[in-house]
Amino acid sequence: MVALWSTSIICTDKTGTITEGVMRVSRVITADEHYDFRRVVQDPRMAERLLLLKIAALCNDAVVENPDDELRHWRVLGNPTEVALLMAAAQVGVRADELNRLEPRVDAIPFRSESKYMVTLHEAGRERRLYCKGSPEHILSFSSTVEMAGRIRPLDAAVRRRLTAAFEELSRHGLRVLGLAYRRAADVRIHDPPQGMTFAGFIGLKDPLREG
């Protein structure tokens, strides 16, 4: 028998044991700002400026079984991370079902563990839109421009270093980090891997600790 006071290391499963086992969006980072997601929820006007929430909802395979019910009663099927992204977007009024009617998906590269990214292609009137989400390193490597202060500018080495430091900081705090990017053009096509993307931001997710 070993007394608790003499124990120096305890090994336990984390997910669903000492945590709730449910992924939730915690942080949102753009090239301009860092946001606590609770602040975004409290200010709906902010969601309009965060294109990455729209990308998170569209470049997503999670499915809502009962979209006509209240949000708190939704039953969402899919990967836990994608479910979290879909729910976070819906919390600020960015609904995937409505977006997909406006921008129907016409092609996709599904997420694969070896590639670590997903790409979807959408029709939006006379324009085509490419959305991508995946590991921060991959998304930055696919991006040649970045949206800053409402303008598109080249993604230079200095901005890349700053963005890399930002997602590494989130990772050190135990968050799972996803990068998001997009491309818009009348003749844009889907490529594997995508290139010439515009970096939109990072989303940090966490699995909260259980009470107690």
13 annotated active-site: yes
Cis bond before residue 154 (omega within 30° of 0): no
Choosing from 13, 68, 187, 192, the catalytic residue is: 13
Contacts of 2 (CB under 8 A, 6+ apart): none
Q: Which sign does the torsion angle of CA 133, 35, 53, 128 carry? A: negative
Strands (E), the chain: 24-29, 34-36, 63-64, 76-77, 105-109, 117-124, 127-134, 143-148, 151-154, 176-185, 197-206
Q: d(Cα 168, Cα 138) in Å, to the nearest integer?
A: 14
**Residue 88 to residue 76: CA distance in whole angstroms:** 12
Residues catalogued as catalytic:
13
